[in-house]
């Protein structure tokens, strides 16, 4: 029993079979049966539109994206000249190091092509003054000889080196917790000198120990309490005095380290100036 009103006939000229489940080719948009729906089975003339293959770089094996209408050979060659990370491509790019100075141009030449007026390098396409809209040396509209350009380059080099040296000299020293403690101790010593408190050292005490003892006395006076007498005044120090002594020693080590660092910086600058 035939049902001609159901399904569709295959569009292949050698088939024409009535198929109740016809399928449409996504390339030529024709209806085919299950045996002729593939591109090769019905010799589809529009199959090239669906045959999208991504070219691969022959050197680094990286896929190169290609947009519709672009030539894969041109894109692969551009990738080798600019982005390829293989050793042969890198060696080729190292040879062509003379980049064109024209705006928007990325060409590189094997030999430098210098404009005699503006002293810039250009490719063969932009080597003439009209081609790169020459404005003269550094935009002055005038040409400069080779000796003049060399003198200006040396002057700019020495100016930049002097600027870097001054910036290093005027750099602020490194701030640390020990330096902050040192500033506090120095401020306390100056305030005591202004008040007329004598800073004489006791027998058997160094200057740093005396400074720590003076700081302790100042803290006691500011709190309004009297220091308690110890049973062994001529012998060992109290815990607070020991802490002050350790603080004074740390301050002394910090100052010595800062002086050594300053001396090393000055010696390094002198050696750089001599070289």
pLDDT at 229: 43
The residue among 39, 35, 41 whose CA lies nearest residue 22 is 35
Give me the CATH code for the 72-157 domain, please: 4.10.1110
Distance CA 184, CA 160 (A): 39
Q: Answer yes or no: is pLDDT of 205 > 60.
A: no
- The ranges of the chain annotated as CATH 4.10.1110.10 are 1-51
Measured CA distances, 79 to 53, 97, 244 (Å):
17, 17, 69
Q: Answer yes or no: is pLDDT of 134 > 80.
A: yes
pTM above 0.75, yes or no: no
Q: Answer yes or no: is pLDDT of 68 > 70.
A: yes
Place of tokens 């305030």: 191
pLDDT at 232: 45
Beta bridge partners of 255: none
Among the residue ranges 65-79, 214-228, 260-274, the one predicted with the least confidence is: 214-228
- Compute φ and ψ for 225, nearest 5 degrees: -115, 155
The residue among 15, 51, 62 whose CA lies nearest residue 34 is 15
By CB atoms closer than 10 A (0-12, 13-18, 19+), residue 115 is buried
pLDDT digits (tens, 9 = 90+) for 3-55: 666 788 888 888 888 888 888 998 888 999 988 888 888 888 888 777 777 88
In CATH, the architecture of 1-51 is Irregular (4.10)
Question: Higher pLDDT residue, 174 or 74?
Answer: 74
């Amino acid at each position: 029993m035939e049902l001609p009103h159901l399904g569709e006939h295959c569009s292949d000229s050698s088939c024409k079979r009535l198929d109740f489940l016809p399928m449409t080719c996504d390339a030529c948009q024709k209806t085919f049966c299950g045996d002729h729906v593939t591109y090769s089975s019905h010799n589809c003339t529009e199959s090239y539109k669906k045959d999208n293959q991504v070219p691969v770089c022959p050197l680094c094996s990286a896929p190169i994206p290609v947009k519709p209408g672009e030539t894969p050979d041109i894109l692969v060659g551009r990738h080798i000249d600019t982005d390829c990370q293989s050793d042969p491509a890198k060696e080729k790019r190292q040879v062509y190091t003379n980049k064109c100075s024209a705006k928007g141009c990325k060409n590189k030449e094997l030999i430098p092509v210098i404009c005699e007026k503006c002293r810039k390098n250009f490719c063969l396409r932009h080597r003439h003054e009209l081609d790169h809209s020459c404005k003269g040396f550094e935009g002055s509209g005038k040409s400069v000889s080779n000796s003049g350009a060399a003198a200006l380059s040396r002057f700019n080099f020495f100016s930049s080196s002097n600027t870097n040296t001054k910036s290093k000299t005027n750099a602020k020293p490194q701030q640390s917790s020990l330096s902050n403690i040192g500033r506090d101790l120095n401020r306390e010593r100056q305030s005591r000198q202004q008040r007329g408190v004598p800073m004489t050292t006791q027998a058997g005490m160094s200057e740093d120990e005396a400074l720590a003892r003076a700081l302790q006395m100042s803290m006691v006076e500011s709190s309004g309490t009297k220091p308690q007498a110890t049973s062994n005044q001529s012998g060992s120090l109290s815990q607070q005095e020991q802490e002050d002594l350790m603080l004074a020693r740390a301050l002394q080590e910090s100052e010595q380290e800062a002086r050594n660092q300053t001396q090393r910086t000055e010696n390094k600058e002198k050696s750089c100036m001599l070289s």
